Amino acid sequence: MKKVVLQKPKLSAHREQLLSEQVPSDPGTLRGVEMENGDLRFTSGMQLSTDDAVFTDCTFANMDLSGASFVDTVFERCDFSNVAAGHADVLRCEFRNCKLTGANFDHSGVKHVRFEECDARYSGFSFSKLQSVQLADSQFSESDFFECILKDMKFTRSQLENANFRETDLAGVNLAECTFERLEVTPSKIAACTVSKEQAIGFARMFGLLIHEES
The answer to whether the predicted template modeling score (pTM) of the entire model surpasses 0.85 is yes
pLDDT in tens, 131-179: 999 999 999 999 999 999 999 999 999 999 999 999 999 999 999 999 9
Q: What total number of domains does the chain contain? A: 1
7 lies in a domain?
A: no
3 lies in a domain?
A: no
Q: What residues contact residue 122 under an 8 Å CB cut-off, 6+ apart?
A: 101, 102, 142, 143
60 lies in a domain?
A: yes
Question: What percentage of residues in the chain have a pLDDT greater than 90?
Answer: 71
Q: Cα–chain-centroid distance for residue 149? A: 13
Mean pLDDT over 49-56 rounds to: 95
Give yes or no for residue 215 having a pLDDT over 70: no
Mean pLDDT over 208-214 rounds to: 71
Per-residue model confidence (pLDDT) at position 25: 63
**Measured between alpha carbons, how far is 3 from 202 in angstroms, rounded to an integer?**
27
Residue 201 — pLDDT band, cuts 50, 70, 90? confident
Domain of 170?
Answer: 16-206
CB atoms within 10 A of CB 162: 14
CATH number at residue 162: 2.160.20.80
Give yes or no for residue 6 having a pLDDT over 80: yes
